Structure 1
Amino acid sequence: MSRRAIYPGTFDPLTNGHVDIIARACHLFDEVIVAILVNPGKQPMFTVDERVEMLNEELGPRFPRVRIETFEGLLVDYAMKCEAQAIIRGVRSVKDYEYELPMILMNRRLNPLVETVLLVAAEDTSYISSSLIKEVFSLGGTIDGLVPDLIVERMNNKIRAGL
């Protein structure tokens, strides 16, 4: 049986922290599904279709056992639909752990067959978040080295287009 995991998130934008977690998850699982959450309540920088395209372009050549999908609804239901045994979550701090723990316990209650695996962020990416990246970028700061070059390019294109 293939070991399959889901790494969920909005990935708006994809950061080097995300890429690090994906790379490490690939060492643990035969297949990693990077699942982009469709959240109509949020106003993202990139549309869902743009994020799918960027993640495929950035991750596809580097990680052949990764596939990019989108999902709505309960994560554990999506995990069962995908026949995934685990949900991958990256934690940067105790604050992240405290945020994740209630969700882990609820997911376990909803479906005890799906485990959550916490991967601690690498030291050099532990302070990076998509929100912080967008804030620094919007104020004219450099994000080089914090996100893949493709993402920097696409963010610059958004600004040039006035979006």
Structure 2
Amino acid sequence: MRRVHTVTDSPVGPLTLVATDGVLSGLYMTGQRHRPPEENFGERDDTPFTEALRQLGAYFAGDATGFELPLRLNGTPFQRRVWAELQEIPYGETVSYGELATCIGSPTASRAVGLANGKNPVGIIVPCHRVVGADGSLTGYGGGIDRKRRLLAFERGADGPMEQTSLF
């Protein structure tokens, strides 16, 4: 198993992309909760990230509302079910943790869904920022509530590119 990584600037701060055997397996933000240690990212090599970087650029420019990338998501079967369902949440929309739990056939597992959501290894592309509290409140986000708020606001009114800032 060969891991490599690259780092790119984005409107939500630097993003570290990780590939395992040439397939995207991680996208981490600076200061992200559950971010693996840097030594787990492998050597620096931009080669496998051309398409992911192109699609991220289109997303942040307001020209794309989704991603078409092969992913290698390593987690428990439950986590992978949650992450697969996250990819079904439409751009600009949100669901609650309880609704997500119901969608995966575990209506009483909203807390477990929240934990799996928090361990999503490919943020933004697997849009865990689209999950909110039952009352619509912005609760928990591994990348921080400010980033979550910013991503949701961008998606709800994406009439132009998301500007680079120095907030993150």
Normalized per residue, the structure richer in strand is 1
> What TM-score results when the alignment is normalised by the length of structure 2?
0.32
Highest RCO, 1 vs 2 (Cα 8 Å, sep ≥ 6): 1
